[in-house]
Structure 1
Amino acid sequence: MLAIALVDRVGSGLWASVSVLYFTYVSGLSIAQVGTLAATAGAIGIAGAPLGGRIADRFPLTRVLLAVQLLRAMASLALLTTNDYALLLAISAVGSLGDRAASVLTRLYATRVAGPDRVRYQAVHRTIANAGWALGGLAAAAALALGTTSAYQWLLAGDALSFLAAALLTLRCGEPPSASRTVTSSKTPAPATKPTHTTPWRDRAYLAYVATDTVLFLDDAVFKVGLPLWIVHAGNAPHGLAPLLLVLNNVMVVALQVPLARFGTTTAAARALLLPLSAAFVLGGIAMALSATGRAVSATLLLTASAAAFTLAEMLHATISWELSVALAPGTAQGAYLGVHGLAQSAQRSVGPLAVTAAISTGPVGWMTFGAIISLTCLIQHRLVRDHLTPTQLSVPAVTVSEH
C-alpha cells in the first residue's frame, strides 16, 4: 500500500499543479467557469468519504479501493475527450468523488492492517505521499516549460496512468481482517457477516468530534491560500517567498512526520498532544500578525517562523487525528465512521479559504484571532475526548513501535 501511495501522489502532483492552467488554456474556460467547476466538483466530492467508508464495511476493502482507482483513472482520461463545460464539470465531480473515497479507504486499510502500529504506519504513508507529490510537481514544472497543449495533455494522461498503476498494485494487496466481515484467508474473503446497524450519524459524540476536527484542519488553507495572499497583501516580504515556504512545509513533513508520530501511538498520548497543538496554532497566528509590522528581513523571518509553526501543527494534528478518529469508532463500523470523519477535511476545503481570507482582510488582529480560535478548539476537543473515551483507552500503556 505504501508503493501505491507513492505512485498515486506522483500522478496527483502532475495534475494538481496544472489543472487550472489546463482548463484555461486547453479547454478554453473563463476564470469564473474554472472557479465554479472547482467549487462544484469539490462540493460533490464531499460525499465520497462517507460513501466509500460505508461500502468498505460491506465489501472487501481492496476490491472497493480497486474500483475507486479505476474510477479515478477513467475520469482523468475522460477529461481529455471533451472541452464541453457541462461534461467537464460532471467528469470532474466524478473524479472528486473518487479522490475523497480513496483517501478514506487508504486510511481504513492502514487501520485494519497495522493494528496498534496504525499511527506510525500512517506517518510513513504520509511521508511517502508528500515525497511523491513533490516529485510529480517537479515533473509538471519541467513539462510546463514547453508551454504547449500537448504538454498539458500528457500531464493529465500521466495522472490517469498513475491511477491505473495503483489499481494494478492494489490487486497484489491481501485483504486485511475486519470486525464487520469474516475473512478466511489473507487473499480470499468469505461472505460478510450480518451487517451492523451501528451508524455514526446518530453518534452525537463522534459528530461533535468531527466538527472540532474540521476546524483543526484549517492549517491546510494557510499554505494553499493564506500565506501567498498575505505575502502579497502585507507587502513587507518578497513575493518569491511564498513557494519557498511551501517547500519548507513539504521538507518538514517528509523529515519529521514519522519521528513525531512516536508521541501519539496511544489514545492517551494522542489526546495529550492536543495541548502542544494548541500552542503551535497560537504561535503561528502571532508570527503571521507580527510579519506585517516589520521590514523585509524581519517579515521574512517571521513568515518563515509562522510557516514552521503551522507545519508543526499540521504534523501534530495528523498524528492525533489518525488515532482518535479510530479510537472513538466501534470496530464493527470503522469504515462508516472514518468515512464521516473524512467529511472534516472535505468541508475544510470549502470553509478554509473563507476563514483565511477573513483573517487577511482584518489584518494582524485577524491572524491572531484565527490562531486563537483554532487553539481554543484544541482545548474543546481535549475535553470532549476525555468525556467520551473509556478509562482504559486513556490509560493504556505505550505501544512499542517496530523499526522494521
Structure 2
Amino acid sequence: MSLQQRRTALKDRIPGGTDGRRMLWIALVDKSGNGLWAATAALYFTYVTGLSAAQVGILVAVSAGIGIAGAPLAGRVADRLPLTRVLIAMQLQRAVAALALLTTDNYTLLIAFSAVGSLGDRAANVLTKLYAARIAGPDRVRYQAVSRTVANIGFALGGLAAASALGIGTTLAYQALVVGSALPSLGAALLTLRCAEAPSPTRIVTGSASRVCDANPETTAKPASPWRDPTYLFYTASESVLFLHDAVFKVGLPLWIVHATDAPHGLAPLLLVLNSVMVVTLQIPLARFGGTTKAARRLLVPLAAVFAAGALAMSLSAVAGGRTTIAALVAASIVLTLAEILHATASWELSLALAPDDAQGAYLGVHGLAQAAQRSVGPLVMTAVIATGPVGWALLGAGLAATCLAQSRLVRDHLPGPALSVAPVTVSHQ
C-alpha cells in the first residue's frame, strides 16, 4: 500500500469527514493551552501576583464553581444559535480572560477573570462534544474516542512545554506562559471558522446564504427540558459518582501512596504517566465495545466489576508491603484506568441517546454538570476514603459498582431504538 493510500485509509477511518478532522486539530491545539495553563496557574498566582496559598485555593474553587454554569448555558444556547459561532465565542472568551490576568494583581479582578475563563472552558467542552455528535452520527462513540486521545496528547504537550519554560522562573517567563496559554484558544477559534455548521435537528442550514432558521416553523411545542426529565437528572447524578475515577488519579492515588503505604513517593507520577499512556493507546480500540446504545448499556455491568476490582487492589496495597505493595498499586492503576476508559465510552453514548433530538444541547449541558460536580466534591471524597483506610477503598468500590448497576437499570426502559445522533434535516441551496 502506498503512502497516499495509507493516508486515504486513515481519513476514511475518522467519522465526520473534513470537518471531523478539523475538529481533531482544534482539540489538539486547544488542549495544549489547557495543559500549559494547568502547569502554570498556581505558580503564576503565587510568584507574579503575590497571592498566598489560601488565596490561590479560594480563587481556584470560586472560579471553578462559577464555571459550572457554562455547560448548561452553552448547551441551551447551542440549540437556538449556530453551534460553531457559539463555540468560537467561547474560545475567544477564554483567550481574552487569560490575557486579562496580565493586566492586574487585584484579587477580586483575578477571581473575576479566572471565572470568565472557567465558564468559557466548561462551555467549550460541551459544545465540542455536541458538534462531534452531530457530524459523526452513529459513529459518534468512535469519533469521541479519537477526540479524547488527541486531547490527551495535546494536554501532555502543553504540560511539557510549560515544564521546559518554568525552569527559568522569572516573572517574564511566567507572563509568557500565560500568553502562551491564550494563543491556542485564539488558534482554535480561527480553525473553527473553517468548520461548516453542523446539521441540527431543529434548524435548516441554507447553503449559499449560510442562514439558519427553524427546521419546523409550524411547530409550536416547546423543546424538551432536561430539568423536567427525572430520568436524565438521576442519570446525571449517577454520572457524578462514576466520574470519581478522575479524583482517584489526581488526588486519591498520590495521597494514598504518601500517607498509607511504604511505596516510594516517586511511584505516584509514574502511575499518572501510565494512566495517560493507557488512555492514549486503548481509548480507540476499546470504543468498539460501546459503539451502539445497547452495547453501551451492557458495558455498565462489566464496568461495575472493574471498578470493584480496582478499589480492592488499592485496599490490598496498604495491607501488604514492599514489592507486593508496588505490584498492588500498579495493578490498581491499570484496572482503574480501564474503568475510566470504559466509563467514558458508555457515558458518551448514553448521555446522547437519552436526549431528545430537539434539545441535545440543553441535555448535554446538564450532563456536563456531572464532571463539574465531581471536580468540586471528588477531592473531599478521596480525603474521606484515605482517612478510613483500606475499608474506605472497599466501600468506594462497592459504591461505584452499585452505581453502575443502578444506572443500567435506570436507563434500560428509557433508551430509544436506533441510536442516531441527528435526525434528518433539510439542506437547501439558493
TM-score (norm 1): 0.95
The CA distance in 2 between the partners of 1:154 and 1:27, in whole Å, is: 14
1:51 to partner: Cα distance:
0.2
Query: What SS class does the counterpart of residue 263 from structure 2 fall into?
Result: coil
1:296 to partner: Cα distance:
2.8
Cα pair 1:73 1:160 within 8 Å, conserved: yes
Matched, 1:13 2:35: yes
Structure 1 residues not aligned, in runs of 5+ = 397-404
Selected match of 1:143 from 149, 165, 176: 165
Aligned to 1:228: 254
Matched, 1:177 2:203: no
Mapping 1:1-400, distance limit 5 Å: 1-185=23-207, 188-193=210-215, 194=217, 196-390=222-416, 392-393=417-418
1:393 to partner: Cα distance:
4.8
Query: What SS class does the counterpart of residue 291 from structure 1 fall into?
Result: helix
Deviations 1:114-146 (A, max 9, x none): 000000000000000000111111111111111
The CA distance in 2 between the partners of 1:187 and 1:300, in whole Å, is: 62
The CA distance in 1 between the partners of 2:58 and 2:155, in whole Å, is: 25
Query: What SS class does the counterpart of residue 80 from structure 1 fall into?
Result: helix
Cα RMSD, aligned residues only: 1.4
1:197 to partner: Cα distance:
3.1
1:190 to partner: Cα distance:
2.3
The CA distance in 2 between the partners of 1:371 and 1:236, in whole Å, is: 22
1:186 to partner: Cα distance:
8.9
1:187 to partner: Cα distance:
8.3
Structure 2 residues not aligned, in runs of 5+ = 1-22, 421-430
TM-score (norm 2): 0.90
Query: What SS class does the counterpart of residue 205 from structure 2 fall into?
Result: coil
**One-letter amino acid matched to 1:151:** A
**One-letter amino acid matched to 2:96:** M
1:90 to partner: Cα distance:
0.5
Aligned to 1:402: none
**One-letter amino acid matched to 1:259:** P
Distance 1:362 1:191, change over 3 A: same
The CA distance in 1 between the partners of 2:98 and 2:342, in whole Å, is: 33
The CA distance in 2 between the partners of 1:335 and 1:209, in whole Å, is: 16
Cα pair 1:236 1:291 within 8 Å, conserved: no
Cα pair 2:261 2:321 within 8 Å, conserved: no
**One-letter amino acid matched to 2:335:** A
Cα pair 2:88 2:193 within 8 Å, conserved: yes
Aligned to 2:15: none
1:188 to partner: Cα distance:
1.9
The CA distance in 1 between the partners of 2:278 and 2:322, in whole Å, is: 24
Query: What SS class does the counterpart of residue 173 from structure 1 fall into?
Result: coil
The CA distance in 2 between the partners of 1:28 and 1:229, in whole Å, is: 27
The CA distance in 2 between the partners of 1:186 and 1:207, in whole Å, is: 40
1:185 to partner: Cα distance:
3.0
Query: What SS class does the counterpart of residue 191 from structure 1 fall into?
Result: strand
Cα pair 2:226 2:232 within 8 Å, conserved: yes
**One-letter amino acid matched to 2:306:** A
Deviations 1:223-246 (A, max 9, x none): 111011111111311101111111
**One-letter amino acid matched to 1:248:** L
1:191 to partner: Cα distance:
2.2
Cα pair 1:175 1:189 within 8 Å, conserved: no
The CA distance in 1 between the partners of 2:69 and 2:209, in whole Å, is: 29
The CA distance in 1 between the partners of 2:87 and 2:208, in whole Å, is: 16
The CA distance in 1 between the partners of 2:347 and 2:396, in whole Å, is: 20
Distance 1:332 1:186, change over 3 A: farther
Cα pair 1:18 1:152 within 8 Å, conserved: yes
**One-letter amino acid matched to 2:189:** A
The CA distance in 2 between the partners of 1:369 and 1:189, in whole Å, is: 54
Identity in percent: 67
**One-letter amino acid matched to 1:173:** C
Cα pair 1:175 1:187 within 8 Å, conserved: no
The CA distance in 1 between the partners of 2:261 and 2:292, in whole Å, is: 44
Query: What SS class does the counterpart of residue 214 from structure 2 fall into?
Result: coil
